[in-house]
């Protein structure tokens, strides 16, 4: 089969996948058909706050509990790592059945601890997150003639010295008539599968509806004691409730109960099921977002292109001039000229700490491959926010599988440095399998102790810690060792020149070479600092990030710029007879992590000004450190591999004896 035929088959497969994605909505679960009167159960997620970044369980506060008891929903690995805790709630609706003044419960008189905790959660601006048919509750607020979208609603509000709780919820459920009557009724997954009941018989024309929107308006309403007498859950209150979000009246007091009620209104909408997430994925200032990124991409591409053209022209002119000379003139030129030609006997001398370098390069290949594959799948729609936790789960899966690449690259580089010697390859493979994961576990363990101490749902349960360690040592490590074995069997890369026994003395430099290396990270940082703002806002401000197509473009450009910057720095060092280029080429592009960490500190000071408490700040800096370490490994690997290819190509293109 020819290459063109293979290409046509791949194109056909991609088209089929695209059609399936359009027809069956790959990003989330399948559409659920509900008949009129079918029960819709609302679920609750962890309470969250951008002031503390510490999620807590919904039932850590004195809220109403369902009659059947609190039950956890099925959660994937990504949800647990992100601190999501999906649980059932007492809120339930009947499809296409409007209800008002529905009594939920009256809590016991608030104890001193409950009263204090409620006040703390209100002060810390905690949000209640509700979920219906996999859709988070969305709240609209009007500000200066335009609407702001928020997911969830606040626990309460402080007015002067009094604390008020939002105890009445006005729900609006947008529904769309089910049109595909011949499709199987129940194709749901996750939290939708347990609440679906069969509608009618086969071939029945009974109308069915799909949930395409879930809105909430929180209110604070003071109920009279007489109106709540002898009421049970889901009974109708005898007096009407006027839900006015601009006024508050339900003040919480110690030793007094809190009553909770709700109302629900169903509205038929033109929104189709595949488009129901559009309201969550739309970002404020979208035009500015796209224009800024495009402008940044164009500027950085232009600058990188200029650097590349000048760089290639300089080397080609140098090589052409050298090749035009005869052997006698070349010998004389070797004696008279300085520069990269004089380090021919040292340029491939083994670097210091070669095992560590090989392990870091192998880990960088693994991290970079994981990032590229994950972003590609996310850009194709396979990891939508509709499927909670799939992004983190996918990252873990791809990272473990790419352990083969980490082992292969690290061991083959080790054998290349030592000219084909197999000795010590197992140790290098073990370093590649344990170095970055070990640093990650160290950081996460320290942060997890802080979360455990705060009783936050963001803390990784001990059982999950055991699962992660088993995944590490039972899947990732063996795959890395297999990759190392393949790297040991593969032929090493032969050097084009011999290495002298005695190292050449490096001349005194006019400026510290490491200063130039650290400054080289500014150009790669310029390619992503705008996109970094939106990513940070998604991580810490509760916004939804879903422009993975642009992120993929930015990442490709980042790889190109990192390679170019490292090439330029390596060439500059060789020109001043500094043959110790190995580590410098790694950190020339890897130094972008320093600027990202400084940006994270800047974001903490100026954008997360309300972040309260040393625990929250430590968590933020700890996760930021984890992120920049991964970025340093990935970008440093790009710089090193491109510099290694360049040095090998440069010294194999000209005869230097």
User: DSSP characters for 288-331?
Assistant: HHHHHHHHHHHHHHHHHHHHHHHHHHHHHHHHHHHHTS-HHHHH
The predicted pLDDT at position 99 comes to 94
Question: Cβ(321)–Cβ(333) under 8 Å?
Answer: no
Q: Rounded to an integer, what distance in angstroms lies between the CA atom of residue 327 and that of residue 395?
A: 55
- The backbone torsions φ and ψ at residue 405, rounded to the nearest 5 degrees and listed phi first, read -65, -40
State the Cα–Cα distance between residues 23 and 273, nearest whole angstrom: 11
Q: What does the alpha-carbon distance between residue 401 and residue 476 come to, in Å, rounded to a whole number? A: 7
The whole-number pLDDT of residue 299 equals 62
Chain center to CA of 129: 20
**pLDDT at res. 591:** 95
Residues 6+ apart with CB under 8 A from 69: none
Decide: 130 and 152 in contact? Cβ < 8 Å: yes
Rounded to the nearest angstrom, the gap between the alpha carbon of residue 578 and the centroid of all alpha carbons in its chain is 39
Burial class (CB in 10 A: 0-12, 13-18, 19+), 261: buried
Cα 640 to chain centroid distance, Å, stands at 25
Is 380 within 8 Å of 407 (Cβ atoms)?
Answer: no
The pLDDT, as a whole number, for residue 72 is 87
CA dihedral in degrees (610, 615, 619, 622; nearest 10)? 120
For the chain of 657 residues, list the mean pLDDT of each consecutive stretch of 10: 40 36 42 90 93 92 93 80 89 94 93 95 94 92 74 93 94 87 40 38 64 95 86 90 89 93 95 85 58 67 73 69 58 55 85 94 97 92 78 94 97 90 88 96 94 89 90 96 95 88 81 84 86 86 79 88 89 85 94 96 86 86 96 96 91 66
> 130-132 and 39-44 as β-strands: parallel, antiparallel, unpaired?
antiparallel
Distance of alpha carbon 261 from alpha carbon 237, whole angstroms: 9
In 530-553, which positions are buried (b, 16+ CB within 10 angstroms) versus exposed (e)? bbbebbbbbbbebbbbbbbebbbb
Tokens 């690259």 -> residue: 409
- Burial classification of residue 119, based on how many CB atoms lie within 10 Å of its CB (0-12 exposed, 13-18 middle, 19 or more buried): middle
pLDDT for position 289: 53
Whether 173 and 216 have beta carbons less than 8 Å apart is answered as: no
Which run of H or of E encompasses 213? strand 208-219
Per the CB < 8 A criterion, the answer to whether 216 and 276 are in contact is no
Structure tokens at 448: 């997890």
Query: Helix 390-401 to helix 354-379 angle, to the nearest 10 degrees?
Result: 140
Cα separation of the two ends of the chain: 46
* b/e 593-629 (16+ beta carbons within 10 angstroms → b): bbbbbebbeebbeeebeebbeebbeebbebbbbbbbb
Spatial separation of the C-alpha atoms in residues 90 and 68, rounded to whole Å: 9
Beta-carbon count within 10 A of 60 CB: 16
Burial label, 370 (beta-carbon count in 10 A; 0-12, 13-18, 19+): buried
Contact 225, 194 (CB under 8 A): no
Q: In terms of DSSP bridges, do strands 208-219 and 34-35 run parallel, antiparallel, or are they unpaired?
A: antiparallel
Q: Distance between CA 377 and CA 552 in Å, rounded?
A: 10
Amino acid 380: pLDDT: 86
Q: How many residues does the chain have?
A: 657
Helix boundaries (H) for 324-402: 327-336, 354-379, 390-401
Kindly give the pairing relationship between strand 130-132 and strand 127-128: unpaired
Q: What is the pLDDT of residue 527?
A: 81
Q: Which helix (H) or strand (E) holds 15?
A: helix 3-24
């Amino acid at each position: 089969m020819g290459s063109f035929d293979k290409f046509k088959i791949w194109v056909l497969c991609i088209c089929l996948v695209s059609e399936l994605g359009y027809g069956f909505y790959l990003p989330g679960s399948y559409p659920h058909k509900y008949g009129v009167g079918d029960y819709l159960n609302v679920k609750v997620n962890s309470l969250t706050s951008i002031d503390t970044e510490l999620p807590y369980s919904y039932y850590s506060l004195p809220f109403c509990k369902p009659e059947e008891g609190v039950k956890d929903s099925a959660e994937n690995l990504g949800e647990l790592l992100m601190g999501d805790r999906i649980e059932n709630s007492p809120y339930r609706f009947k499809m296409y059945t409007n209800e008002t003044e529905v009594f939920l419960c009256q809590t016991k008189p608030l104890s001193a601890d409950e009263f204090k905790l409620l006040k703390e959660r209100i002060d810390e601006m905690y949000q209640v997150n509700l979920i219906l048919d996999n859709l988070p509750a969305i709240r609209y607020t009007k500000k200066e003639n335009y609407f702001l979208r928020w997911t969830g609603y606040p626990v309460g509000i402080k007015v002067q010295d009094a604390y008020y709780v939002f105890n009445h919820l006005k729900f609006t459920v947008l529904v769309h008539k089910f049109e595909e009557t011949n499709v199987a009724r129940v194709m749901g997954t996750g939290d939708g599968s347990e609440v679906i009941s069969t509608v009618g018989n086969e071939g029945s024309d009974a109308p069915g509806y799909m949930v395409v929107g879930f809105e909430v308006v929180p209110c604070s309403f003071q109920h009279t004691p007489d109106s709540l007498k002898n009421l049970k859950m889901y009974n109708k209150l005898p007096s009407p409730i006027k839900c006015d979000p601009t006024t508050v009246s339900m003040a919480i007091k110690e030793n007094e109960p809190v009553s909770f009620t709700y109302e629900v209104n169903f509205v038929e909408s033109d929104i189709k099921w595949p488009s129901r997430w559009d309201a969550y994925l739309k970002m404020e200032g979208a035009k500015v977002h796209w224009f800024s990124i495009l402008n940044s991409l164009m500027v950085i591409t232009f600058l990188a292109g200029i650097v590349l053209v000048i760089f290639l022209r300089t080397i080609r002119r140098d090589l052409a001039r050298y090749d035009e000379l005869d052997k006698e003139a070349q010998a004389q030129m070797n004696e008279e000229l300085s520069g990269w030609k004089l380090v021919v006997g040292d340029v491939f001398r083994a670097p210091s700490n070669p095992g560590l370098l090989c392990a870091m390069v192998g880990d960088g290949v693994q991290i970079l491959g994981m990032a590229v594959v994950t972003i590609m799948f996310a850009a194709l729609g396979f990891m939508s926010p509709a499927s909670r936790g799939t992004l983190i789960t996918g990252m873990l899966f791809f990272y473990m599988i790419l352990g083969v690449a980490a082992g292969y690259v690290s061991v083959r580089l080790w054998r290349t440095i030592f000219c084909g010697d197999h000795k010590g390859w197992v140790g290098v493979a073990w370093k590649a399998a344990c170095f970055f994961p070990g640093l990650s576990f160290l950081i996460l363990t320290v942060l997890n102790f802080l979360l455990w101490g705060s009783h936050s749902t963001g803390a990784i349960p001990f059982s999950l810690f055991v699962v992660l360690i088993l995944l590490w040592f039972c899947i990732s490590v063996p795959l890395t060792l297999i990759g190392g074995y393949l790297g040991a069997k593969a032929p090493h890369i032969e050097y084009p020149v011999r290495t002298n026994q005695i190292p050449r003395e490096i001349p005194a430099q006019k400026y510290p070479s490491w200063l130039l290396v650290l400054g080289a990270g500014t150009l790669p940082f310029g390619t992503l600092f705008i996109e970094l703002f939106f990513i940070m806002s998604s991580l810490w401000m509760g916004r939804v990030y879903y422009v993975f197509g642009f992120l993929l473009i930015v990442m490709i450009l980042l790889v190109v710029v990192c390679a170019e910057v490292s090439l330029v720095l390596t060439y500059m060092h060789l020109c001043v007879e500094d043959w110790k280029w190995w580590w410098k080429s790694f950190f020339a592009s890897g130094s972008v992590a320093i600027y990202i960490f400084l940006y994270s500190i800047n974001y903490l000071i100026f954008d997360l000004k309300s972040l309260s408490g040393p625990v929250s700040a430590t968590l933020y800096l700890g996760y930021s450190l984890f992120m920049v370490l991964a970025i340093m490994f990935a970008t440093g690997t790009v710089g090193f591999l491109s510099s290694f290819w360049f040095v090998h190509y440069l010294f194999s293109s000209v005869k230097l004896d």
